[in-house]
Amino acid sequence: MTSSCKNDPKPTVKNESQVTAVSEDLEIFDYEGLAPLLNMKDDKTYVVNFWATWCAPCIKELPYFEELNQNYKGKNVEVVLVSLDFPRQYEKKLIPYIKEKNLKSKVVALDDPNMNSWIPKVNKDWTGAIPATIIYNKNKREFYERSFSYDELVTELRQFIE
């Protein structure tokens, strides 16, 4: 059985449909700002992972997404890591984690307290547990509410690019 982390309610924050910057190192979106990253219609295949620094299964699998990003660079694959960390933790935990682990994938933060609204927009079957991943391109889309090994991730990705 795969372990997962429940996404705890977030504190109330202003709701703006744009990117706001906590620091030069992190783009922060509400759901409307994030939605375009979940629905690109170009020639790339996107691997979008929802995670948080407080989620042990997420942290365990994060290196696999980084390895995938490195190994599929130049092959029309883009890895996007969507942090669900709490806004008050961006400066203390998230940004230091990104720097310490030298993450090369695109990392953005989702700061939208209206989880009951945006979770079903990501996927109608998503319970809100993380890690969760979407792999999609203009022809196909799959949602996974589970952890991955590197080999499992490659197996799923190959269904989109071969």
Confidence of residue 162 (pLDDT cuts 50, 70, 90): confident
**pLDDT at residue 11, as a whole number:** 33
Tens of pLDDT, residue by residue over 100-142, are: 999 999 999 999 999 999 999 999 999 999 999 999 999 999 9
Q: Are 72 and 156 in contact (CB under 8 A)?
A: no
Q: Are 50 and 62 in contact (CB under 8 A)?
A: no
Class at the top of the CATH hierarchy for domain 44-161: alpha beta
Tens of pLDDT, residue by residue over 53-93, are: 999 999 999 999 999 999 999 999 999 999 999 999 999 99
Spatial distance between the Cα atoms of 37 and 52, rounded to a whole number of angstroms: 18
**pLDDT at residue 47, as a whole number:** 98
Across the range 90-97, mean pLDDT stands at 95
| Dihedral, 79, 22, 112, 105 alpha carbons, nearest 10 | 10
Q: Are strands 45-51 and 77-83 parallel, antiparallel or unpaired?
A: parallel
Helix, strand, or coil here: 162?
coil
More confident: 122 or 9: 122
Across the range 28-49, mean pLDDT stands at 96
Would you say the C-alpha torsion 9, 37, 25, 21 has a positive or negative sign?
negative
pTM, rounded to two decimals: 0.86
